[in-house]
Chain A
């Protein structure tokens, strides 16, 4: 078994086995606590430039398949697991995880004490690191980690946004469809009657495909524009609403995106997810800050302040909206139950709302899928 190593900027080095692609990569090292969904996570553009470790120790068990892909390619710089399965066991599987990473050029590390790594990140906060199957000298690796660029102030969106505009037509497939939830005795609440078709422009900063699938399944015609599009370009499509997608990195490095959103607020119904949520906040005058080690996982509890109920959410963000900086026109609608950070916002006068977490799931629970219906309602009858 070939060796590989991960070095952190604080001087810690973990030696393990190489899997996936060979090579040397640097990036912010973070962890995700989801126990399933590694393929969706690997293909989530928001992980651009990061080295991710899964807290679940055995990864790759069910292999990979075509349906669990969330973007055109694997986005992560490096992937770290306690143990990678050498076989793929599922009727959907088309390949093993190791071969998948190798083909995609993602450098992998297995066989390290991932819990020790996670505890270090939790205590010290996110750190820059270098993962290599080529350089195995501890001192050199640490030096490289210290030299590597951090996330703050970097525009990673440009690396993942599409070049061209496109039309999205694929709805959720059967397996991606949340099951309707009955009330006692097995009765379903009366479903809202079908709406007429609406046109949504989705600004793609590195959008997960399941968002577009959800929008399509809600009955919208979806035009996807690169995240760098201006408000004029967006409005030229005469959309009934604009969707602001997720995406990687520091939102404060994205002045051009913030400008677009500022110009759209009040002109057209807006809904943002994750980076889209942060951009909306910034556009309204709020500030964002970097969390110590972020929220990445599928078990984050979020309270819906309007109903007082809790949804278990899928999350992937290292930055959050600073509550102290909120302008009066923004109202907090959702809040993280663990650390109290803002998870959802609503504009009091303009027709705009956003959430920090991922209602499209993939990977993760379906509890918040209602938000797509709510967006559809925001677009009018």
Chain B
């Protein structure tokens, strides 16, 4: 049966901002779905609040709404666009929950919108733990003992039946938020209570613990004829107890016999059929007791997921695309397998390599958070590696993680053999508790002579994986025994490469340099070969050039086409805070731009979540770690005519110098220019020449120097290590005591690099500028005025295009300054500048804070706000087409206001203080658009999940006297809006003095009731609290942390408070309307 002809318009719901548990994978799946449905002639209407996505590009869907993801906004879109169907299974949990809400409220029925892919009944059966469990029992599948409870008393009854340790999982939370294991009664009570609060339906599942069982996932697809196939099996390296998103995972399953595997396959089909997911993909998780083989079903996701993105990249089978096609009526056997083009999509991929995914964490940003890994996901990104053995893939993945390691030890980060070598007790303790560093301690354990059996009993990790690690360690010993590059046997050297050892590790082991190892092994004919990811283990010929490296005989890369240029784009690697989807967006646009120019595009990236690693984004895809060696190996093989390093964030930039030195043709801004912007002296000279100001600043290599510099510069001052992205260890110091504390830490983080000290401009307005320069002409694509004052990391503050408070003169001055810098630097491509505008003697004065001649995090936002495809234009410039040749001669002038707001992961890190500062901690962003700033801001807040109340009680607490003054004005407006106010003593006094009614609150240590009691009881609806001191131990820190746990918005800066009040006022009178991006930029839409 071909596609359904009764459907014309299909609504697709995106997943919103990047948060822990929901990242780029849903941009990947949504983008695939849009393409797949449009290819079939459907009109696709897309709603997503995240501007940094490829799916929200004007050309991806027919109608694109960058609007908050709430049922209210969706209903408005439905009213305008009148879709025939909604496809809820491709936008993560967010889309699934929203579709269910639309269904529950009768909105779908009212507008005649059909749910395709999975119906509400099936979604409920799959998502509601109780119904799911009942269904499993009905079909004879084993599940965890335990049940859903709605109160603590009920939970205690279950505990009596199952005993400790017990697992607690709240229903319907994102990424398993609030889930955990309780080892004692106190912990049990606490976790149950928190789970009941977090669950939108007030339900918690209490279950027997399956800690230490083997964990598996099956990616299943089903079509309307009930054909069902398994696309990929995934085995977790970390046993049950660690969320699968935080586990090292391996594809395919490595340690199941055929009978055990087929049992799991049968069970997977039984689950998808019983739950009733009519068409599309589902992910089903299993636990297996390694002693008895008892297999239980943990849960299922009746939608595409992070794991299905991983499975797609691991096998070459595009799950999301096929899921979209199945939803509109196609059968699996009617669809082609894109990779072979000869065979059909109705088959099960066979893979002839091993895939390893390793999660990336960001605990350095949240030092107060508990870094132990549990059933609640905490990682912010992941890297995937492909090799012919687990050993090879594992070592590749560890270097692809970009945490300073170049494999499984024997690199710069190795503690073994150093003074800090862990003791045997230390090792035993560290391997027993999963945390991000456990993997290194597994190595130390093996180095210390622990056997696989002992290590298995401590970790429950399958002995097969541990033996693989042991083999790596054993080969390491062999190599170390040889001792020198001259003495090493070619066979051993080749074996080392096949085991995944990098040249860097070999250099450490053989006392040589990375480049010497490289030259010598090339001399001996040991070079990387590239094999195809082809879905079929070479049974059919692969048409898509999707490659991974290994060290075998045959290379499968295709030769260069005569006369056609080849340009390599270096991606951003795993998502982390400060470097995520925005850079992937830029890399994808590079491919699109090169394609338009007829240049062959070659993508190199290691992040399986992304659109950039989709096999049809570029002409060639290399799924490889982004290290100097891996990139040079690819270049040796494919001989690129150009290499783009300025789009993938800090990752490729850090490689630029070495790649350039090795002779790669870096295109765009030169490496010298990139480095010059980092060189403070040279940069200062440039600014002087241009007559631009910079805050007083200094550079220090020693503590002594730092003290001298700060004495000259004065307080407040900003202290930070150089060459670190995302504001790591960056702090504002108001006095010597603070300075002494932070500067010491900065030196630690700087790892031998100098520490930078700047005069901090208090109460200044920060401005970001993104511009494109072709070496001669400059286009200022976007001027963004930050909402929060300077001092809050630019990645964490909200901002507005065009500036909402700066005068036209100041904006012109900013543009002129940016243009001058870009020209003088000789930028070819993108440049981002951060300015601060500080009122000095009543006149705004412009300061240059920082210049980065590369793509910035704001490029996609600027593109969505202005309609100018910024990244594409920049790439064409790099490839040799001037701005004039592209017909771009004027800065874009947006007709509306666009506000970007940041989204934070605090809810995953209980107890962490949320006060914003110079260290970036947000994971994602949303965008709100309107003709009016206040409405655009309101939309951005709604989209970010900040529920500004329409009535109720607001808690005010501000620090400084000036802040109190500002707060008086805001308080008056809040009272006028009908809010009740409560405040801490000082703030209350200031308000009462001006006649504003306010209820004073006790301090926390003064007893009850205090504001925490109000929070717990739901009697406070909004908090304005500017920090006096930071940290989870301070009273205000506790209040802020509690606000996150109880879901009460907490605004921590005055400018944001001001913007919120404006938004709340506007929401009284204005109705939030929706507008498609294609209507905002009719020209762009028409030109696509």
Contact B389 A58 (CB under 8 A): yes
**Whole-angstrom CA separation of A181 from B352 in the bound complex:** 30
Contact A338 B347, beta carbon cutoff 8 Å: yes
Contact of A116 among B351, B390, B553 (CB under 8 A): B553
Interface-located stretch among A62-70, A225-233, A246-254: A62-70
Please name all residues of chain A whose beta carbon is closer than 8 Å to the beta carbon of B682 when the two chains form the complex: none
How far apart sit A90 and B257, CA to CA, in the bound complex (Å)? 8
Asked if A65 contacts B257 (CB within 8 A), the reply is yes
Choice from B139, B259, B269, B388 contacting A68 with Cβ under 8 Å: B259
Chain A residues near B252 (CB-CB < 8 A): 35, 56
Residues of chain B contacted by A58 (CB below 8 angstroms) = 254, 354, 389-390
Known: A91-B293, A118-B538. A175 touches B259 (CB 8 A): yes
Pick out which of these stretches binds chain A: B462-470, B481-489, B571-579, B781-789.
B462-470
Q: Is the CB of A67 within 8 A of B259?
A: yes
B274 an interface residue at 8 Å Cβ cutoff? yes
- Evaluate whether A61 and B265 lie within 8 angstroms (CB atoms) in the complex, with A35-B252, A337-B333 already known: no
A49, CB-defined interface residue at 8 Å: no
**In the complex, chain B residues whose CB is within 8 Å of the CB of A114:** 352
Q: How far is the CB of A141 from chain B (nearest CB, A)?
A: 17
- Do residues B464 and A85 form an inter-chain contact, with CB atoms below 8 A? yes
Q: Taking the nearest CB of chain A, how far is it from the CB of B827, in angstroms?
A: 45
A338 touches B344 (CB 8 A): yes
B339-371 CB mask vs A (1 if < 8 Å, else 0) is: 000111011111111100000000000000000
Restricting to B394-440, which residues have a CB under 8 Å from any CB of A?
A: none
Indicate whether B166 reaches chain A with its CB closer than 8 angstroms: no
- How long is the Cα–Cα vector from A185 to B131 in the complex, in angstroms? 10
Q: How far is the CA of A40 from the CA of B261 in the complex (A)?
A: 13
- In the complex with contacts A57-B388, A86-B467, A364-B553 CB distance below 8 A: no
Q: How far is the CA of A244 from the CA of B918 in the complex (A)?
A: 76
Taking the complex as formed, is A164 at the interface, i.e. its CB lies under 8 A from any CB of chain B?
no
Contact between A364 and B389, CB atoms less than 8 A apart = no
- Min CB–CB distance B172 → chain A (angstroms): 21
Please determine whether A312 and B135 come into contact, CB atoms closer than 8 angstroms: no
Q: In the complex, A181 Cα to B723 Cα: how many Å?
A: 58
Q: Is the pair A184, B464 in contact by a Cβ cutoff of 8 Å? A: no
A62 touches B255 (CB 8 A): yes
With both chains docked as a complex, state the minimum distance between the C-beta of B707 and any C-beta of chain A, in angstroms: 58
With a cutoff of 8 Å between Cβ atoms, the chain A residues found around residue B344 in the complex are: 301, 337-338
Among A37, A187, A312, A362: residue with most chain B CB under 10 A: A312
- Whether the pair B263, A179 counts as a contact (CB closer than 8 A) is yes
Residue contact A184 to B274, C-beta cutoff 8 Å: yes
A308: interface (CB < 8 Å): yes
Q: Which of A186, A300, A362 has the most CB of B within 10 A?
A: A186
Check: B894 CB closer than 8 A to any chain A CB.
no
B304 at the interface (CB under 8 A from A): no
Closest to B529 in A: A113
**How far is it, in angstroms, between the C-alpha of A65 and the C-alpha of B257 when the chains are bound?**
10
> Contacting A179 at CB < 8 Å: which of B229, B253, B270, B463?
B270
Determine the distance from Cα of A303 to Cα of B541 in the docked complex, in whole angstroms. 22
Measured CB to CB, the nearest residue on chain B to A88 is B464
With A116-B554, A303-B333: A91-B291 Cβ-Cβ less than 8 Å: yes
**In the complex, chain B residues whose CB is within 8 Å of the CB of A67:** 259
Closest approach, in angstroms, between the C-beta of A329 and any C-beta of chain B?
A: 28
- A245: Cβ under 8 A from any B Cβ: no
Q: Is A377 an interface residue (CB 8 A)?
A: no
Are the CB atoms of B273 and A181 closer together than 8 Å?
yes
Other-chain contact of B269, A34, A87, A116, A181 (Cβ < 8 Å) = A181
Cα distance, A82 to B538, chains bound together (Å): 14
- The total of interchain contacts (Cβ-Cβ below 8 angstroms) comes to 198
Contacts of A122 in B (CB 8 A): 538-541
Is B464's CB under 8 angstroms from A33's CB? no
A186 and B262 alpha carbons, distance in the complex (Å): 20
- If A83-B389, A312-B348, A361-B262 touch, whether A90 touches B255 (CB-CB below 8 Å) is yes
B62 at interface (Cβ–Cβ under 8 A)? no
Q: For the complex, is B996 an interface residue (Cβ under 8 Å from A)?
A: no
Q: Name the one of B229, B273, B293, B389 contacting A57, with C-beta atoms under 8 angstroms.
A: B389
- Give A36's nearest chain B residue, CB to CB: B258
Asked whether A365 lies within 8 Å of B262 as measured between CB atoms, the reply is yes
For B462, the chain A residues whose CB sits under 8 A away are: 89
Return the CB mask of B525-568 against A: 1 if under 8 Å, else 0: 00000010000111111000000000011101000000000000
Interface flag for B256 (CB, 8 Å): yes
B226 at the A interface (CB under 8 A) = yes
Q: Which residues on the B side are within 8 Å of A312 (C-beta)?
A: 229, 347-348
A56 touches B464 (CB 8 A): no
Q: Which of A62, A82, A184, A366 contacts B262 (CB 8 A)?
A: A366
Whether A328 sits at the interface, judged by CB under 8 Å, is: no
A193 interface contact, C-beta 8 A: no
A308 and B225 contacting across the interface, CB-CB below 8 Å: yes
Contact between B258 and A181, CB atoms less than 8 A apart: no
Distance from A303 Cβ to chain B, minimum over Cβ atoms (Å): 6
Please determine whether A299 and B538 come into contact, CB atoms closer than 8 angstroms: no
Q: Within residues 25 to 42 of chain A, which ones have a CB less than 8 A from any CB in chain B?
A: 33-37, 39-40
Pairwise interchain contact B258-A364, C-beta atoms closer than 8 A: yes
A36 and B344 alpha carbons, distance in the complex (Å): 22
- Interface status of B267 (Cβ within 8 A of chain A): yes
Please tell me if the beta carbons of B352 and A56 are within 8 angstroms of each other in the complex: yes
A199 within 8 A of B: no
- Whether the pair A61, B254 counts as a contact (CB closer than 8 A) is yes
Contact with B along A181-203 (1 / 0, CB 8 A): 11111111000000000000000
A35 touches B351 (CB 8 A): yes
Pair B537/A55 contact, Cβ less than 8 Å: yes
Contact with A along B229-270 (1 / 0, CB 8 A): 100000000000000000000001111111111110111011
Q: Is the CB–CB distance between A113 and B259 below 8 Å?
A: no
When distances are taken between beta carbons in the complex, the residues of chain A under 8 Å from B225 are: 308-309
Of residues 316 through 357 on chain B, the ones whose CB sits less than 8 Å from some CB of chain A are 332-333, 342-344, 346-354
Q: Cβ of B255 and Cβ of A61 under 8 Å apart?
A: yes
> Bound complex: CA of A115 vs CA of B538, how far in Å?
7
- The distance in angstroms between the C-alpha atoms of A180 and B227, with both chains bound, is 15
A116 to B136, CA, bound (A): 44
Chain B residues whose C-beta falls within 8 Å of the C-beta of A36 in the assembled complex: 253, 256-258, 261
Chain B's nearest CB lies how many Å from the CB of A296? 9
Indicate if B122 sits at the interface (CB-CB under 8 A): yes
Chain A residues, Cβ within 8 Å of B467: 85-87, 89
| Docked complex Cα distance between A308 and B261 (Å) | 27
How far, in angstroms, from A188 to B267 measured CA to CA in the complex?
14
Partner of A115, one of B135, B255, B554: B554
Cβ-neighbour of A337 out of B255, B256, B274, B343 (below 8 A) = B343
Nearest-CB residue, chain A, relative to B491: A1
The distance in angstroms between the C-alpha atoms of A186 and B265, with both chains bound, is: 17
Docked Cα-Cα span, A312 to B135, in Å, equals: 26
Give A185 to B138 CA distance when docked, in angstroms.
Answer: 9
With A33-B537, A116-B553, A184-B274 given, is the CB distance from A338 to B343 under 8 Å?
yes
Contact A55 B273 (CB under 8 A): no
Q: Does A363 contact B (CB under 8 A)?
A: yes
Which residues of chain A are near B464, meaning CB under 8 Å? 61-62, 85, 87, 89
Q: Is A150 on the interface with B (CB-CB < 8 A)? A: no
Tell me whether B273 and A183 are in contact (CB under 8 A).
yes
List 6 A–B pairs whose Cβ atoms lie within 8 Å, in order of A's numbering: A55-B350, A82-B389, A89-B464, A114-B352, A115-B552, A118-B539
Identify the 5 closest CB pairs spanning chains A and B, nearest first: A37-B258, A184-B276, A55-B537, A186-B138, A116-B554
Query: Beyond A56-B351, A179-B140: 9 further Cβ-contacts under 8 Å?
Result: A36-B253, A61-B254, A183-B274, A187-B138, A299-B347, A299-B350, A337-B333, A337-B344, A363-B262
